[in-house]
Amino acid sequence: MRFQDAAQDARAITYAAIQAEPVVAQAAALLADATPAQRVLARAVMNGETLDPDGWRTMFPTLFGPTVEPSARERSEAILTVSLAIADRGDQTRNQLRGALVESLSVELLGRRVSAAGVRRERRILFDGVRAEIHPYDVTVERAGAAEAYDCKWGARGINADVLHQLEDARANAEAEGEVLRVALVVFDAELSCRVRLERQTAPHDRSGLVTLESLGSLSS
C-alpha cells in the first residue's frame, strides 16, 4: 500500500483554491474546539436562508442568552460571524466551502492525535495489482502500521454507494496486503440522520467508521 498525490487536473486546482480561502481555516479552527450546540449553530447558519445575525442569536438562546458565560458567548459569536461569511456566498461556492471546511476540520483534529506531517489531503491509495481509484481520498493519515483514510461530507445526504465502496475497497485491499487501514466517513451532520441514510445503503459499510457532528472529537483522541 502506498500513497500518492492526486493528479493536478482542473478539479484539483479548483479544490486548492477553495481550500485556500481564509474563511475555511478560520471556521475549522473555531469548530475544532466547539461544543455540539455550537456545531449545530454553524451547520444551521451555513445551510440557512437568513443572514441576519440577530435572528440566529434568537434561535440559539443556549449560546447567546443572558446567562451564557462571556467566553463561551465570544466563541459562539466568532462561529456565527464566520458561518455567515460562508453563507453569504453563491450556492455553488457555499457548497464548495462547506465541503472544504469539513476536510479542514478533520485535518485540524487529526493533527492533534498524530504528527501533523502525516495528515494529508487529496491523496490516492495504490495497491499492487489493483487499478487505482480515480478519485482521491479527502484526508489520509499516513504512518506505518496505522494508516487511515477519510471521506468528508457536509451532510448525511452525501453518503452514497460510491463513497462506501471506495472506502471499503481501500480497507479490503490493504488487508489483503497485510496492512492496516482504518477507513471512516466524517459527516458534519447528526448521527441519527447518518444512520437513516446508511440504513438503506446496500454497499458494504460494516467495517467503515462513522464520525458525526456529535463525535468529531474522536478524531483527535
| Contact residues: another protein, CB under 8 A | 36-37, 40, 43-44, 47-50, 55, 58-62, 65, 155-157, 189-190, 192-193, 195-197, 199-200, 213
Q: Which is nearer to another protein, 109 or 190 (CB)?
A: 190
Per DSSP, the chain holds a count of helices (H) and strands (E) of 9, 6
Q: Which is nearer to another protein, 73 or 182 (CB)?
A: 73
Work out how close the CB of 23 gets to another protein at its nearest, in angstroms, rounded to a whole number. 19
177-202 burial string, b = 16+ CB within 10 Å, else e? eebebbbbbbbbbbeebbeebbeeee
Work out how close the CB of 59 gets to another protein at its nearest, in angstroms, rounded to a whole number. 5
Work out how close the CB of 156 gets to another protein at its nearest, in angstroms, rounded to a whole number. 6
Work out how close the CB of 92 gets to another protein at its nearest, in angstroms, rounded to a whole number. 12
Work out how close the CB of 108 gets to another protein at its nearest, in angstroms, rounded to a whole number. 22
What does the block give as the cell for 56? 440566529
Residues 6 or more apart whose CB falls under 8 angstroms from that of 204 comprise 164, 165, 168
Q: Which is nearer to another protein, 99 or 136 (CB)?
A: 99
Q: Which is nearer to another protein, 136 or 155 (CB)?
A: 155
Locate cell 487499478: which residue? 131
Q: Which is nearer to another protein, 199 or 206 (CB)?
A: 199
Work out how close the CB of 182 gets to another protein at its nearest, in angstroms, rounded to a whole number. 26
Q: Which is nearer to another protein, 60 or 150 (CB)?
A: 60
Helix axis angle, 70-87 to 91-110, nearest 10°: 140
Q: Where are the alpha helices (DSSP H) in the chain?
A: 10-19, 22-32, 36-47, 53-59, 61-64, 70-87, 91-110, 161-176, 191-199
Measured CA to CA, the distance from residue 75 to residue 96 in angstroms comes to: 24
With 0-12 / 13-18 / 19 or more C-beta atoms within 10 angstroms meaning exposed / middle / buried, residue 206 is exposed
Locate cell 483514510: which residue? 149
Q: Which is nearer to another protein, 124 or 153 (CB)?
A: 153
Work out how close the CB of 72 gets to another protein at its nearest, in angstroms, rounded to a whole number. 13
